[in-house]
Structure 1
Amino acid sequence: MATALKNLSDNKTSGMRDISGAKFGIVVSEWNEEVTEALYSGAFETLIALGATREHIERMNVPGSFELSLGAQWMAKRNDIDAVITLGCVIQGETRHFDFICQACANGITEVGLKYDKPVIFGVLTTETQKQAMDRAGGRHGNKGDEAAATAVKMLSVK
């Protein structure tokens, strides 16, 4: 397991640029709300800790993880948004629905970033169980929302 020995919230923050003027869009899936709200809290608090201002963080809710790509596109096409963070959670069920949703999310979110030439961060948990999701949304593996926010800032620093 890739994260068994790593806390996702342990981010190296050296060398990051000043983000006090950067504007972030965070697109949050309403499906698996307990998990996605925890992811959002982690992302929001990490952006603030790294120097973003509350006024420069805009949230958009979408019904489910499948809709994250379109929500991200709506945010990314705006000239006043510097980076987009997508947050969702897809938990394995008894059918292949999980596979289709996960693949669509990964492809769609990647395409948006390439189309608009700005960071669009994949903060979507793809777990087998609710417990695994909670472990990655503020539990024993940290908070993937923290990691997504730090990644957005790092990508702005690279550019």
Structure 2
Amino acid sequence: MSGAGAPQTQAIDCHDLRVALVAASWHEHVMDGLIAGAQRAFAEHRVEAPVVTRVPGTFELPVVASALAQHGFDAVVALGVVIRGGTPHFDYVCSAATDGLTRVALDHTVAVGFGVLTCDDEAQALDRAGLEGSSEDKGYEAAAAALQTAQTLKRIRSKV
């Protein structure tokens, strides 16, 4: 199980951060769970008024995440789902999303929460979506990681 070994973390106060969430539209039921998980993390970390933006698919996440980073957001959480099919499309989309979101984080020095599920089938995606009966909540995890990273970057910047 991919959740084995996950660190135990506590919610931290992030009321002073500007936070955005960009979410793909494919696989609506899974995406609803991921977004709800991210929203739970925002609430627990006291994020005030996160901006939520939808895009057509996972491939479009990096360009919108980059635009949000350029507009001064401290953290951008990117959520998407790619389910393996019978063509190499899966590999291209997964690679493009991963590489693109990494570039956003490094080029803008902004925290990017990577909540892109790359699954062999829909059952795996549902099991990670944070829905009732799911074993994992990757939307929550991606949001919490982005918030913790954003606070770390803020502390570093204040000491330089």
Q: Fold-level match, TM-score > 0.5?
A: yes
1:2, 1:60 → 2: CA distance? 28
In structure 2, which of residues 57, 66, 75 is the aligned counterpart of residue 64 of structure 1? Answer: 57
Q: Does 1:32 align with 2:37?
A: no
Supply the AA of the counterpart residue of 2:137: N
Q: Is residue 86–residue 121 contact of structure 1 (8 Å, CA) maintained in 2?
A: yes
Instruction: Describe the superposition over 1:26-67 as per-residue Cα deviations: whole angstroms up to 9, x where unpaired.
Output: 0000011111121011001111111112x2x00110000000
Does structure 2 retain, via aligned residues, the 8 Å contact 1:11–1:150? no
**Structure 1 residue 52 corresponds to structure 2 residue 44:** no
Equivalenced residue count is 151
Question: For 1:5-35, what per-residue CA distance to the aligned partner results, in whole angstroms no more than 9, with x for missing partners?
Answer: 46x7x74116x4x311211110000011111
Amino acid at match of 1:12: T
- Deviation digits for residues 54-96 of structure 1 (CA, Å, limit 9, x no counterpart): x2x00110000000011101111102x1100000000000111
CA distance in 2, matches of 1:11, 1:22: 22
Partner Cα separation in structure 2 for residue 154 and residue 136 of structure 1:
21
From 98, 112, 115, the counterpart of 1:106: 98
Instruction: Report which structure shows greater RCO (CA 8 Å, sep ≥6).
Output: 1
Partner of 1:147: 141
Q: Among 112, 115, 118, which residue is 1:123 paired with? A: 115
1:122 CA displacement = 1.1
Matched, 1:42 2:43: no
SS at match of 1:115: helix
Question: What's the C-alpha RMSD, in Å, of the aligned pairs?
Answer: 1.6
- Which whole-Å CA distance do the structure 1 matches of 2:74 and 2:59 have between them? 23
1:83/1:152 contact within 8 Å kept: yes
Query: CA shift at 1:2, angstroms?
Result: 3.0
TM-score normalised by structure 1 residue count: 0.89
Tell me the TM-score normalized by structure 2: 0.88
Distance 1:48 1:22 in 2: 13
Q: Distance in 2 between matches of 1:75 and 1:37?
A: 21
CA distance in 2, matches of 1:117, 1:74: 13
